[in-house]
Each structure stands twice: as C-alpha cells, then as structure tokens.
Amino acid sequence: MSFAIGLIAVAVFALLAPTLQITARARAWPLGPVTLLAIAALVSHGLGVALGIVALPQFRYWDAASIFAFCVMAYVFAFGAVYKSVSLEILLGLIDRPGRAAPLSEITERQVPGLFQGRIGILVDRGLVERANSGFVATAAGRNLAGRVGRLRYAFGIGHTSLYDFSD
Amino acid sequence: MNMLPGPAQAAAIGLSIALPLLLLCYARITATGGSGRRFRLGCISVVVLYAIACIALPGQRQLDDVLSGLLLLGTAMMFCYVLFSLLAWGFTLTLLTALVQAERPLTPEQWAEAYMQGGDLGTFTHNRLKLLVGAGMVITADGRLAPTAKGVAVAHLAKLVRLSTGLG
C-alpha cells in the first residue's frame, strides 16, 4: 500500500509541475523551470508522506519514496530531453516546414546560428555573460560557474567540446 | 511510519551514493573509453553489485524491498545521467566555458569559432545531425534533410511531452 501512496504523490506532481510552469510563464515569475520542478517535487512528496502517515498505520517510507523518486526522475529526464535539445530542435524545425524537408545549408546557415544566438541570449539573461563593445564577455558569476564546470569535467574525465563521440 | 530502509533498499542507497564515486574512479582508467562508455560501465557495475548484494545479504529477500531498491538505483542512474550529460554534451554550458577560456571579449563569430575549437558551426551541425541520422530519425539525400517515419513519431512524442509538462 505504501507504493500506492507513492503513486498518488506522483499523480499530484504530474498535475502540479505543468501547472507551475504555465503559471510562471503567464505571470512572469522570476523562477527557472528547474526550480519549479524542484518545488513541485518537494510539495508533492510532502503531501504523499503526510497522506501515508494519516492513512496507513504501517506506512513504509522508502517503498513510497522509491516509486515516487523514480517516476519524478523519469519525468525530469523527459523534460530535460525536450527542453533544450539542439538535435530535437532541428528535428522539430524540419517537421514544421512545408513539405517536411529542408536544404542542409539552411539548417547550417540559418537554424543552428539562430539556436546559437538564442543560447547567447539565455547566458546574458542569467547574468553569466554581458555585452562588451561589439562582443561578449563573461561576468564574475559566469567565470565562477565556468571554473566549477571545468573542475567537474576534469574530475570526471569529460572533454570540453560538447560534441558527441560516435566512436564511444 | 517505518523510516528504516530494508536490506536491499539500503544496498541500493549505498550504491546510488557510490555511482558518482565510481565514475570518478573510471575517469582515471584510460581503458574505460569515452564519457558515454564510462557512464554505461558505471551503471552496469552498480546493477551487478546490487544483484550480488541481493544474493549475499543475510535473511530472506522481500519482493517489495528488492523492487524498491531497483527503483532507487534507477533514480540515481537517471539523476547522474542528467548531470553527466549536461557536463559532457551541454551546448549552453560549453558556450560559457569557451568564452571564459578565450579570456577576452568575443564577437558571436569569434565565439562560435572558440566554441568549436577552430571549427565552425557547420561542424557542430553535422555532429548533431549525425545523431539524428544514426538514430534513423532523419535521412539526407541530394543535400536535403527529411524526417523518417520514426523521426515524425519522435517529434510528435516530443511535442506531446512539451505540452504535458507545461513547456508549450
């Protein structure tokens, strides 16, 4: 029965998370999508635990928490895959075109540079990068984040290109 | 309420904590290959260790305990993958680190070049397209790109996920 409590909490999360995303966009809340997901997870988990304590005398926390955590993480995984994937944006761009086809040159010369500009915009909006004359430079916050990322990449033996290694 | 994890759940929690440490160790072993292969190796290792723990731990195994442990392990793998893939293949994050490494203001063109370490956005586009082509979602013919039936299905699924997660 504790698993069922966990699933009820998953249902609450599945309703709460998109509601928060839509409300945040409509009301221009200064909270990022990931923060909203974390809030939805904490609230729904808290409600699930409270329900378990009230409804089940033998409530087993880890049974409920395991199924809740797995389903929420699968949701976050799917969310992350569709949120800012370059490959997926190229695919969706193709689907939305009349005739569902495009010259390769158009993707290379127009769509990808557009995505590039979009990501620069995100970095500027988040205060990690600022404009300097005709170019861009990292802010102190941007340099700090880049430093932490560099150290983590070094520790995990990850390269600096972000290209997929197909020989892998 | 019972807050104590069962034996298999406790093993899964321990292995979940061990997974990033295992990835750190594998990063020091050249024979483990690239980032993607190392991650898969880390996941296989913890699953094997979990199976051994389930057999070796004293006492009788309860199905819900073992299942719950598997769910916890799956959660940890997905969580680590989200962070690992962000470090390894994150476009925006790599843009930031490329700008910081340049140590001077960059125009968007110079930034793209720094990001690609001498290459251009065309190389990046081809790398991401290789993923789509390799997965059988897109075909190229006569310099044109077109989605396959699988690509169309994935695109529709992605749109559905975007809609249901509140991303629009």
CB B36 within 8 A of CB A167: no
Nearest to B1 among A59, A100, A164 (CB): A59
- Residue A155 to chain B, least CA–CA distance (Å): 6
Angle at B50 between CA B48 and CA B53, to 5 degrees: 115
Residues in chain A, overall count:
168
What distance in Å separates the CA atoms of residue B43 and residue B53, rounded to the nearest whole number?
Answer: 15
- Give residue A165's pLDDT: 59
- pLDDT tens, residue by residue, B49-89: 999 999 998 888 888 999 999 999 999 999 999 998 888 88
CB pairs under 8 A between A and B: 258
Between the CA of residue B132 and those of A92, A166, B94, B140, what are the distances in Å? 12, 12, 21, 10
**By percentage, how much of chain B surpasses pLDDT 70?**
100
Q: Is there a contact between A156 and B131 if contact means CB atoms under 8 Å apart?
A: no
- Give residue A161's pLDDT: 63
Contacts of B164 in chain A (CB under 8 A): 18
- Residue B58 to chain A, least CA–CA distance (Å): 20
Residue closest to B99 by CA, chosen among A154, A129, A145: A129
- Give residue A16's pLDDT: 95
- Give residue A160's pLDDT: 67
Residue B53 DSSP code: H
Find residues 28-67 of chain B whose CB sits inside 8 Å of chain A. Answer: 28, 33-38, 64
- Name residue A102's beta-bridge partners: B145
- pLDDT tens, residue by residue, B94-112: 889 999 988 888 888 888 8
Nearest to A149 among B93, B108, B140 (CB): B93
What distance in Å separates the CA atoms of residue A117 and residue B109, rounded to the nearest whole number?
Answer: 11
ipTM (interface pTM): 0.84
Q: Is there a contact between B26 and A157 if contact means CB atoms under 8 Å apart?
A: yes
Q: Where are the alpha helices (DSSP H) in A27-85?
A: 33-55, 61-83
pTM for the predicted model, two decimal places: 0.85
CB A58 within 8 A of CB B61: no
Contacts of A67 in chain B (CB under 8 A): 68, 71
Nearest to A63 among B68, B134, B155 (CB): B68
Between the CA of residue A104 and those of A120, A132, B126, B144, what are the distances in Å? 23, 33, 9, 5
CB B26 within 8 A of CB B38: yes
Q: Is there a contact between B9 and A62 if contact means CB atoms under 8 Å apart?
A: yes
- pLDDT tens, residue by residue, B144-168: 888 999 999 999 999 999 988 888 7
- Give residue A167's pLDDT: 54
Per-residue confidence in pLDDT tens, chain A, 168 aa: 889 999 999 999 999 999 999 999 899 888 888 999 999 999 999 999 999 999 988 899 999 999 999 999 999 999 988 887 888 888 988 888 888 888 888 888 888 888 888 889 999 998 999 988 888 999 999 999 999 999 999 898 887 666 655 555
- Give residue A162's pLDDT: 60
Q: Is there a contact between B68 and A62 if contact means CB atoms under 8 Å apart?
A: yes
- pLDDT tens, residue by residue, B19-36: 999 999 998 887 777 888
